[in-house]
Every structure is written in structure tokens, then in C-alpha cells.
Structure 1
Amino acid sequence: MTPLVTAAVLLAAVTHAGWNAIAHRITDKLAGFALIAGGGMLIGLALTPFTAFPAARAWPYLLCSAVIHVGYYALLMRSFRLGDFGQAYPLARGSAPLVVTVLAAVFAHEAPDGRAAAGIALSCAGLTGVAVWGLRGRRPDRAAIGAALATGVTIAAYTVVDGLGVRASGSSLGYIAWLMAVQGAVVPAYAAHRWRGRTLAVLRPFAALGLLGSALSVLAYALVLWAQTRAELALVAALRESSVLVGAAIGALFFKERFGAPRLVAAGLLVVGIGLMLHPG
């Protein structure tokens, strides 16, 4: 993890928390995700003439990722409907790095050393603590937690698939452009079918916010894909999930969700874990 890669992943973490907060803030979740996915599709299509076409061996990964992303959007929408942003977002993101570590070891032959593995485990413990503790004195909602954990599995799946795909593509920018163009059509198409003649009327009140979210989404994932061509998948995934600290702060400041002392302890675990990951061996 060079300083440049680290900076790119941390910037991705901030922008990712930003677009997720926008998606949570939009009251009509389907409208929000239709705008974010559709805006991403338009950005991808606009980039394709100026980027290299992904190599043929990258396309199975790209198409598989597009399918996984559709499931990810559906589960993330459900998570945001059921739970607080300060719970759903950290738990979904925090559960992913451990799964990525296992999948990367199996499919990419990238096994972290003992110190890095300990850092990943500590980070995940901290991320889960940020998610579960301090929710206005309430017990965590099992349905919300289940949806968030399922979202985390899809995050891990597309992280590894795209990590392998972007390495095979020959162009990280070309890969992200075509991925956005392919996957971005599904949610808007479903929304248009569901709303029929009311599509523009439903989308109009959220258009500016949703399109801002789409730009942040594309930027965040483009940075991550570029980083995955220069560092191990598990380390990039774990560092990227430092976004949950930003997400927890957003939840406290803008959604009036309690942070609390237990979450501060959990955040400390996350910081120690990231330190171990960045300085392994």
C-alpha cells in the first residue's frame, strides 16, 4: 500500500459514504437508486469513447459483476428501509473485508500475513461495533442486521470479481466505464416499468441529489478499481471500509443518530486495525 494508493482508497471511502448518505436521505429509495444507477450509466457511456475497450478476458468478470451489483442495490435499498443509516451502512461495509480476505485467498492466491490478517480482523470487529452499538438505546433490529449482512456478502463478491476483472482488462478506466454502462440500466428500467407513465414526475423532486450521488458513486468505485491493480484485494477492501467512520459521523450529524461511547471504542479498534494493515510484517 503506497502512499498514493492509500490516499486514493481513503478518498474513495469518503466519497462512498457521501453517496450512500444521499441514497439514504432520498425518501423514495427506488427513485434514489434509479437516479444513482442511471446517472452512473450515463457517466459510463460518456467515458467509453475516451477509454480503452476492456480486454476480452475481462468481460466474464464485468458481466458477472453487473449481475451482482443489481443484487447489491436491491439489498442496500432494503437495508436503508429497515435500519438507521449509522447501523446499516457500517455493518454492510464492515462484514465485507473478512469475506473478501477468504475469497481473495482462494481465487487470487492473495493470503495476508499474520499481522495484516490481524489488522483485517480488528478492523472488522471495530466496524461491526460501530454498526451495532449505541443506537438510541435500542436493541439492534434483526431484520435490518440480516439485510445489511447480506449486502456485505454481495460487496465482497463484486469486490473480488472486479478486482480480478480490472486486472485482466488492461484499463481500469475502461473497465469502470463499461461496468457502469452495463449495470446502470437495470434499476432505472425496472423503476420505469413499475411507474409506467409517472417516471419523470417521481424522479423530478430527487433529480439533483440523485445525480450528485451517481457522480460520487462512480468516482468512489473508479478509485477503488485503480487501487486494486496496485495492491492486494483484501487490504484495499479493508482500508476502503474506513468509510464507516464517515458514515457514522454523517448519521450523527445529519440524521440525528446517536454515536455513543461504545462506538468510539469500536472506532479505535478500526484505527488500530488499519495501522496493522498498512504496516504489515
Structure 2
Amino acid sequence: MTPAVTAAVLIAAVTHAGWNAIAHRITDKLVGFALISGGGLLIGLALLPFVPVPAAAAWPYLLASAALHIAYYALLMRSFELGDFGQAYPIARGSAPLVVTVLAALFAHEVPDGWAAAGIVLSCAGLTGVALWGLRGRTPDWAAIGAALATGLSIAVYTVVDGLGVRASGSSLGYVAWLMTVQGTVIPAYALWRWRGSAAARLRPHAALGLVGAAMSVTAYGLVLWAQTRAALAPIAALRESSILVGAAIGAVFFKERFGAPRIAAAALMVAGIGLMLRAG
């Protein structure tokens, strides 16, 4: 992982946490995700005349990824409805890197060396600590945790699918533009059908915020796709989940959710794991 790849993934982590926070802040989750997904569609359409069409070998991956992203959005909406942002987001993001490591080894033949494997495991341990802090002394909300874990599984699968697809596409920008265009139609179309005539009234109050979230979403994933053409999938997936730290800070500052010493310790563990991954790179 070169400094440029590392910087791109870290910027993606910050922007990803930002658009998720915007989605969580909009009370009606369907409104938030319709705006973010629809905004991604508009950005994709605007890019299409200026980017190459992905190579034929990339299209099975792109179409599979579009379906997986729609499932991811649905699961993430459910996670945000059931749980606090400061825990739903970390569980969803923190559960993905280990699954990516296994899938990348199986399908991309990327077996991490000792340093990278240790870093991934250590980072995931830290992420788990961030996610599970605050559960002691009260009954876990298994529905919320289950939805977040299912979201993490969808993240892991589309990460590997997109990693293979963007490498076959010949253009990371062309791949992301077409991906946003294909996947961005479904949720807005469903929302328009469900609201039947009241869409404008529902969307207007949150339109500016939702479109900012869309721009952040496209930027975040575009940077990750570019990085996946230049480094192994598993370390990128683990480093990207440093967004959990940003998400926890956003939860503490904007949603008044406690951070606390245990999360700081878990965050330090995750930073140590990232250091091992960068040493391996």
C-alpha cells in the first residue's frame, strides 16, 4: 500500500462516515437513502459522457455489485432504524474486513502474509471493541446487532465483487460511474411508487443535505475502487474501516452518544493494527 493508496483510503473513510451520518440524521430513512442513491444516479449520469464504458468482462461483476448495493442500502436503513449510529455503524463496518480477507483469499488468491494478517485481526479486534462498548449491564438488542452484522456481510461481498470487477473494467472511474447509474435507479423508483404524488413534499426539506451525502458517497467509493486496482483487497477493506473512528466521533459530537475510555482503548488497538498492515504493504 503506497502513500497515495493509503491517503485515498483514509479520505474515503472520512467521507464514508460523513454520508452515513447524514443518512442517519434524516429521520425518514427512505427519504435519506432515496436522496443519496438518487444523487449518486445523477452524478453517474453526468460522468457517463466523459468516461470509458467498462470492458465486457467487468459487467457481470458490476451488475452483481449493483444488486448487492441495493441489499446493503436496505440493510443499512434497517440498522439505523433499530440501533444507535455509534454502534450500528461500527458493527456493520467492523465485521466486514475479516470476511473480505477470507473471500479475497478464496476468489482473488490474495493470501495475507503474517504482518498483514496480524494487522487485520488486531484492527478487527479494536473495531469490535468500539462496536460493543456500552452493552455491559444491559440486554443486547439482537435485532439491531443482527441487522448490522448482515449489513457487514453485504459490505464484504460487494467489496470483493467490486475489487474483481474494477480490475477487469479498464477504468475505475468508468466502473464507478456505471455502477452508480445502474444501482441508483431502484431505491428512488421504489420511493416514488410508495409515496405516489407526495414525493416532492417529502424530499424537498432534506434535498440539499441528501445531495451532499450523495456526493460524499460517490467520492468515498470512487477512491476505494481506485485503490483496489493498486493494492490487495483485505488491507484496503481493513484500513477503510478506520471510518468507524470518525463515525464514533460524529456520534459523540452531533448525536450526543458517549465515546468513553473503552472506545479510546479500542481505537488505539485498531491504529496499531493499521500500522502492521502498512508495514506489510
Instruction: Give the alignment's TM-score, normalised by structure 1.
Output: 0.98
Output one character per residue of 1:132-170: Cα deviation in whole Å (capped at 9) or x when no partner: 103697543211111000000000000000000000000
CA distance in 2, matches of 1:277, 1:139: 35
Amino acid at match of 1:242: S
Matched ranges for 1:175-214 at <5 A: 175-214=175-214
Amino acid at match of 2:147: A
Partner of 2:262: 262
Partner of 2:143: 143
Amino acid at match of 1:21: A
CA distance in 2, matches of 1:119, 1:32: 35
Per-residue deviation, 1:128 = 1.2
Q: Which runs of 4+ in 1 moved over 6 A?
A: none
1:44 aligns with 2:44: yes
CA distance in 2, matches of 1:231, 1:44: 25
CA distance in 2, matches of 1:270, 1:134: 18
CA distance in 1, matches of 2:88, 2:124: 14
Per-residue deviation, 1:265 = 1.1
Partner of 2:131: 131
Amino acid at match of 1:18: G
Per-residue deviation, 1:218 = 0.1
1:57 aligns with 2:57: yes
Unaligned runs of 5+ in 1: none
CA distance in 2, matches of 1:136, 1:207: 39
Partner of 1:272: 272
CA distance in 1, matches of 2:146, 2:136: 19
Per-residue deviation, 1:20 = 0.2
Unaligned runs of 5+ in 2: none
Matched ranges for 1:4-23 at <5 A: 4-23=4-23
Greater shift, 147-156 or 126-135, is seen at 126-135
Greater shift, 90-99 or 135-144, is seen at 135-144
Q: Percent identity?
A: 80
Partner of 1:243: 243
Partner of 1:234: 234
Instruction: Report if aligned partners of 1:100, 1:157 keep a CA contact under 8 Å in 2.
Output: yes
Partner of 1:167: 167
Change (3 A) 1:177 1:66: same
Amino acid at match of 1:233: L
Instruction: Report if aligned partners of 1:15, 1:216 keep a CA contact under 8 Å in 2.
Output: yes
CA distance in 2, matches of 1:260, 1:139: 20
CA distance in 2, matches of 1:136, 1:178: 45
CA distance in 2, matches of 1:137, 1:195: 41
Instruction: Give the alignment's TM-score, normalised by structure 2.
Output: 0.98
CA distance in 1, matches of 2:206, 2:125: 35
Output one character per residue of 1:6-48: Cα deviation in whole Å (capped at 9) or x when no partner: 0000000000000000000000000000000000000001001
Matched ranges for 1:61-72 at <5 A: 61-72=61-72
Per-residue deviation, 1:131 = 1.1
CA distance in 2, matches of 1:136, 1:205: 39
Over aligned residue pairs, what C-alpha RMSD do you find?
Answer: 1.1
CA distance in 2, matches of 1:22, 1:63: 27
